[in-house]
Structure 1
Amino acid sequence: MPATGTGRRTAAPRTVLRVKSPQALLTEAGHDDEGHGLKRTMGLWQTVAFGIGAVVGTGIFVVLGDVVPKAGPAAVVSFALAGLTCVFSALAFAELAAAIPVSGSSYSYAYASLGEGVAWLVGWCLLLEYGVSVSAVAVGWGQYLNELLHSVFGWQLPAALSNPPGSGGVVDLPALVVVLLAALLLIRGVRESARAAVVMMVVKLGVLALFVAIALTAYHADHFADFAPHGMAGIGAGASLAFFSFIGFDAISTTGEEVKNPRRNLPLAIVLCMAAVTLIYCVVAWAAVGAMPASEIGKHRAVLAVIVDQVTGSSAGGIIVAVGAVVAIASVVLTVLYGQTRILMAMSRDGLVPKVFERVSPRTATPVANTWIVGGVFGLLAAVVPLDVVVNLTTIGTLAILVVVNISVIVLRRRRPDLPRFFRVPLYPVTPILGIAFVLYLMWGLGASTWIQFGVYLVLGVALYFAYGHRKSKLRNAGS
């Protein structure tokens, strides 16, 4: 009896640390079997559009008014610093996505390098990055939709039906509707969703390009005279806030089982997406500060609309920015909701969440039940729960995932030098180490209260793992 008890006490740590081989992940995903359910229908540019669709959302439309008061005109540098942080980690994602092109993204990479326990916590953090952020982003959709309806038609939805409780309403019906519409489009097929993502990307980038063109007609170089009034501390604080605008770039890696020629197209799409988004954000920030003094930008929530109104002397700004925001938010909801369903499908294959999440419809080649469950849960969350308080928690959870991904590159290089790598992080190991350092710098800037919230969230995740995931783990049960 004592021996049995000892065995039980030591079995848990062994399972928590046990890794799953990349070959096993590829086999379970049906990498070499076209009959596994998911179909490879997305080309390179559709994948890039999916990535840009997941990133360019409400962030640049509203977060500029938060970054500039911290950094001043150096907000351009803050966006560049946040983008650089993502670029280092994007290179890590590119290497791992090319070597292990499966839907699990960072969850699967952690499983192959750091073990099941870390993989579970990564999946737990991905619920923040994908699921909760979908709800938080969807809340803003109704607000911009109302602004657009008011500007064009002179009427809008009543506050009781367009705001969650605590924000002047009873239920945020538009938030629920946009999530459910995204779910409906996703279950119809990835090809249709990718086409919609391309169209929405073109519209919102066109709106941002129009903003830059208008803002540059009122450009004043003297607005940059006091470039960094709060020094590097202000730039760093601004970068921590600006990072929220980049959340979702890793959604590209969740398309690993539905992208054509994934070993080539995944790393290329990730790098192209991050380069494009960083450039777009920096140009928009530069044009905005050039058109309006930094001391004024922080006074306006919809600052892009205000700048266009002032420059043109009309109310066109509200309409232009509202159109861009409505399309941008819809595209973010679509692509990030897609990423959440694929993460849960990968976790279900490993037995860590219920089997319903891994079932793929033979008719649509999509996880229908998974998509409706995710859409229903997070749509309802957006409709009835104020989510402003979890923005920083979402950010720190996403940053923690990037730390794990960079560490995974280093661990797999040491443990699995034989693993075929169709893309390699340049300047290894400097690049992943810099990626970790930049991420930790941004995490530090989020403050003590956010760290405390994150610690509580992780403890809850550990409790759920041992209550369900650890007992149901296929890896554990196969080895027992």
Structure 2
Amino acid sequence: MIPIAGSAYTYAYASIGELAAWIIGWDLILEYLVGAATVSVGWSSYMTAFMKDAFNLTLEPKWTNAPVSWEKDNFTFSDSYFNAPAFFISVVVSVTIYFGIHTTAKINNYLVAFKVLVLLIIIFSMIPFIKPANYQPYIPEETGGVNGMLQGASTVFFAYIGFDSVSTTAQEAKEPQVNLPVGIMATIVISTILYVGIR
């Protein structure tokens, strides 16, 4: 029996067995680990730049960078301690989630509305500056050709992380059989349009 609310792990466990669910469960942990780490480090970079531009305050690099980095196909150690802003935002998000789905959903709705509004302002304000000549050739060889295009497309991975987590909110939906598929497909379409518009 498949529960009303669950996740990809739960559905896999109920439909194709424990081993497949175990593999999918660890895949989900890895997916969210990579996604959360990338987003928190990106937020740290934005925060550091904002503090510099808005308040002329330069944060100590030893507290805004990782102690280990990947350079020239090797791990290298730096003099940095750890990325404090990234750790801070991870703690804030974790504490927010602790207070429950209703509080988290409300905060998330406000943040998403704000982000979409900002993206729409950027997209429409940049329309007059579009130069069709820049699209010829569409896949320039000097930027890597098809290989470069595929490398750029790999960044889209981060734009689509988390859509499966919508299934965990099934119990909160009024008509999950109807609203969940519509919600998932709508978010994918809207995210795609915004992503293409920004790019």
In the alignment, is residue 135 of structure 1 matched against residue 46 of structure 2?
Answer: no
2 CA distance for matches of 1:232 and 1:138? Answer: 30
Q: Deviations over 1:8-57 (max 9, x none)?
A: xxxxxxxxxxxxxxx2x32xxxxxxxxxxxxxxxxxxxxxxxxxxxxxxx
**What is the one-letter code of the residue matched to 1:111?**
Y
2 CA distance for matches of 1:236 and 1:184? Answer: 37
Q: Deviations over 1:110-162 (max 9, x none)?
A: 21222110110000101111133212321222111011111111103211122
Contact 2:62 2:82 in 1 (8 A): yes
Match of 1:172 among 83, 91, 100: 83
Measured after TM superposition, the shift of residue 277 of structure 1 is 0.4
Which position in structure 2 is the counterpart of 1:264?
Answer: 178
2 CA distance for matches of 1:233 and 1:173? Answer: 35
1 CA distance for matches of 2:40 and 2:46? Answer: 10
Match of 1:126 among 10, 28, 43: 28
Q: How does 1:430-441 map to 2 (within 5 A)?
A: none
Which position in structure 2 is the counterpart of 1:251?
Answer: 165
Q: 1:119 to 1:180 in 2, by over 3 A?
A: same
Which position in structure 2 is the counterpart of 1:411?
Answer: none
1 CA distance for matches of 2:158 and 2:177? Answer: 28
Which position in structure 1 is the counterpart of 2:5?
Answer: 102
Other structure's SS at 1:217 match: helix
Q: 1:187 to 1:276 in 2, by over 3 A?
A: same
- Highest Rg: 1 or 2? 1
Which position in structure 1 is the counterpart of 2:93?
Answer: 182
> Structure 2 stretches of 5 or more lacking a match?
70-77
**What is the one-letter code of the residue matched to 1:278?**
T
CA RMSD of the aligned region, Å?
2.0
Contact 2:159 2:191 in 1 (8 A): no
Identity %: 32
2 CA distance for matches of 1:124 and 1:145? Answer: 31
In the alignment, is residue 112 of structure 1 matched against residue 48 of structure 2?
Answer: no
Q: Deviations over 1:263-292 (max 9, x none)?
A: 22211110111110011111111xxxxxxx
Q: How does 1:176-325 map to 2 (within 5 A)?
A: 176-230=87-141, 234-285=148-199
Which position in structure 2 is the counterpart of 1:157?
Answer: 59
Measured after TM superposition, the shift of residue 236 of structure 1 is 4.2
1 CA distance for matches of 2:179 and 2:96? Answer: 24
Measured after TM superposition, the shift of residue 233 of structure 1 is 5.3
Contact 2:40 2:89 in 1 (8 A): yes
Which position in structure 2 is the counterpart of 1:360?
Answer: none
Measured after TM superposition, the shift of residue 235 of structure 1 is 4.2
**What is the one-letter code of the residue matched to 2:5?**
V
Other structure's SS at 2:54 match: helix
Match of 1:147 among 21, 25, 49: 49
Measured after TM superposition, the shift of residue 234 of structure 1 is 5.0
2 CA distance for matches of 1:279 and 1:159? Answer: 36
2 CA distance for matches of 1:238 and 1:177? Answer: 29
2 CA distance for matches of 1:129 and 1:121? Answer: 12
Q: 1:210 to 1:160 in 2, by over 3 A?
A: same
TM (norm. structure 2) is 0.84
Q: 1:253 to 1:228 in 2, by over 3 A?
A: same
> Structure 1 stretches of 5 or more lacking a match?
1-22, 27-100, 286-480
Other structure's SS at 1:257 match: helix
Other structure's SS at 1:155 match: coil
2 CA distance for matches of 1:257 and 1:132? Answer: 27
Q: Deviations over 1:334-375 (max 9, x none)?
A: xxxxxxxxxxxxxxxxxxxxxxxxxxxxxxxxxxxxxxxxxx
Contact 2:35 2:158 in 1 (8 A): no
